[in-house]
Amino acid sequence: MALQLYNTLTRRKEEFAPIDPSNVRMYVCGPTVYDLAHVGNARPLIVFDVLFRLLREIYGEKHVTYVRNITDVDDKINARAAERGISIRKLTEETNAIFQADAKALGCLEPSAQPRATEHIPAMIAMVEKLLASGHAYRADGHVLFDVASMPDYGRLSRRSLDEMLAGARVEVAPYKKNPMDFVLWKPSAPDEPGWESPWGRGRPGWHLECSAMSWKYLGEVFDIHGGGIDLVFPHHENEIAQSRCAFCRDVMANYWLHNGFLQVEGEKMSKSLGNFVTIHELLHSDTFGGRSWPGEVLRLAILRTHYRQPIDFTVKALEEAEQTLDRWYDEIGDVTAADEIAPNVRDALNDDLNTPAALGELHRLAHPAIAGKAMAGLTRFGQKPVPEVLKASANALGLLLQSGSDYRAERLSVANVDEAKVNRLISSRLQARAAKNWALSDRIRDELDAMGVALKDNKDGTTSWDVKR
């Protein structure tokens, strides 16, 4: 089936038709680098990475441009740098470096471009000049503001009236605004704040303007897909649309708008006051959540088990189940090379508005011979390819099973600080003890292995395999 995507702009699932199949263009809002990205931020990272992979699969790697920006000028950045007593540059560099490492650990491909806001100030000034010239913006008290009343269909994305938006939004109450909903395009900077010279004095851009300018410079006045979390629909994406459409006299900014649903933690909204606020970095490198750290691939699978548009409850149980699944799948694929093509049912599921739960269900079906304990699973054919090869290729389409089975096992042993050679020697000694019916020695060796964190899998014929305990 052809790729179908749910378009927030039209509130329906539509067949995807790119403007130019030789250059499919997607923009996704990236981090504001004042603090570490939290687990809710992991969801759009993973979701739009899956879409990036799928578009590359359909149109070819060289024919897809994915832009994810870095917001490195923002009032939150200014405040955090002052709070920590460091320079803004040092704060943004440190935070961005951790963000990039987190994204890589989650199995995300690097986007085609990651523009920084501070490197695109001229484009932002040019857009403000266009909006002023066309009567969609005005100057007031050192600011330049977008005149919402000048755009008859403002609110088309969120489908709210001006009164509804005003009631549900936190808007700055300022006497210089013509309308409370008018938003800042450019604002003055104090001497100790970041600022750039402009026709309206030294100042800095508004948050919404940054994304409009960067998407324009990299993708053009109109492009294919704009994505982000559902919380960005209003005001951020609504205001991006207003700026871009009015600056370039266009009917749309992007043809398809995709938004992932909210994430909660253990059944509650994530917040620092509830003590359940957890960053990606903490999940990967500390025992903050569930008393242990978690591999990035486990986080990725746990998130993909829920359809991207639905709310997701991020739990320790979900991570444990995801890890168990990955263990089984890596046992199944071993060190095979991925097939050239993915399973048709996996492709169809992803083409159906990124239906990752259905795609994962198909991966479970492909791995079923191993789960059922059928020793000859590797001889089962899928078309002309062994099942493990197709399983690996199909999982790769979701950014999963990117390692070999050996590398995955070695990584797990390293994290658990388990000496594989020593374990194998002890198991061999235990088998000899059992053969000699020296049950006391056999039990002592089992206890030693247990203390090392090793779980044995025995049957009537002896130890068949072993694994690292969770």
User: Is the previous residue joined to 235 through a cis bond, with omega within 30 degrees of 0?
Assistant: yes
Instruction: Please say whether the dihedral angle defined by the alpha carbons of residues 228, 229, 233 and 236, taken in this order, is positive or negative.
Output: negative
Mean per-residue pLDDT, 209-230: 98
**pLDDT of 385 over the 90 cut:** no
- Choose one of 407, 440, 459: the last residue of a domain: 407
> What are the tens digits of pLDDT across the range 404-420?
988 888 877 776 677 87
Number of domains in the chain: 3
**Residue 125 shares a structural domain with residue 231:** yes
Q: What is the mean pLDDT of residues 451-455?
A: 80
Same domain, residue pair 48 and 92: yes
Q: Which of 335, 331, 349 is nearest to 394 (CA)?
A: 349
CB 65 within 8 A of CB 25: yes
Q: Which of 214, 240, 260 is the last residue of a domain?
A: 260
Does any domain span residue 5? no
Q: What is the pLDDT of residues 55-97, one digit of tens each?
A: 999 999 999 999 999 999 999 999 999 999 999 999 999 999 9
CATH code of the domain containing 333 = 1.10.730
80 and 229 housed in the same domain: yes
Is the pLDDT higher at 239 or at 373? 239
Q: What is the pLDDT of residues 274-288, one digit of tens each?
A: 778 899 999 999 999
pLDDT at 379: 45
Domain final residue pick, 213, 243, 260: 260
Q: Determine the pLDDT at residue 424.
A: 83
The enclosing domain of 122 has a CATH number of 3.40.50.620
Amino acid at 101: A
DSSP 292-327: S---HHHHHHHHHTS-TTS-EEE-HHHHHHHHHHHH
Residues 458 and 390 in one domain: no
pLDDT tens, residue by residue, 112-154: 999 999 999 999 999 999 999 999 999 999 999 999 999 999 9
Indicate whether 250 and 315 sit together in one domain.
no
Examine residue 3 and state whether it is found in any structural domain, yes or no.
Answer: no
Residues 233, 272 share a domain: no
pLDDT surpassing 70 at residue 380 = no
SS3 for 415?
A: helix
Q: Kindly state whether residue 244 falls inside one of the protein's structural domains.
A: yes
Q: Give pLDDT, residue 419.
A: 81
Q: Where are the alpha helices (DSSP H) in 352-454?
A: 356-371, 387-396, 405-416, 420-435, 439-451
Domain limits at 64? Answer: 14-260
Domain match, 109 and 205 both? yes
CA 120, CA 144: separation in Å to the nearest integer? 18
Do residues 30 and 120 both lie within one domain?
yes
7 located within any domain? no
User: Cβ–Cβ contacts within 10 Å for residue 79, how many?
Assistant: 11
Domain identity same for 23 and 121:
yes
Q: What is the pTM of this model?
A: 0.90
Q: Higher confidence at residue 408 or residue 222? A: 222
Q: Does residue 248 share a domain with residue 159?
A: yes
Least confident span in 333-342, 393-402, 423-432 = 423-432
Confidence of residue 174 (pLDDT cuts 50, 70, 90): confident
Q: Is residue 62 part of a domain?
A: yes
User: What is the overall mean pLDDT for the chain?
Assistant: 91
79 and 110 belong to one structural domain: yes
Average pLDDT for 344-369: 94
Confidence band of 175 (pLDDT split at 50, 70, 90): confident
Decide: 260 and 308 in contact? Cβ < 8 Å: yes
* Interval 44-53: pLDDT, tens: 999 999 999 9
Same domain, residue pair 278 and 254: no
pLDDT recorded at residue 169: 56
Residue 8 lies in a domain: no
Q: What's the average model confidence in pLDDT over 348-362? A: 98
Give the pLDDT confidence score for residue 434 in this predicted structure. Answer: 86
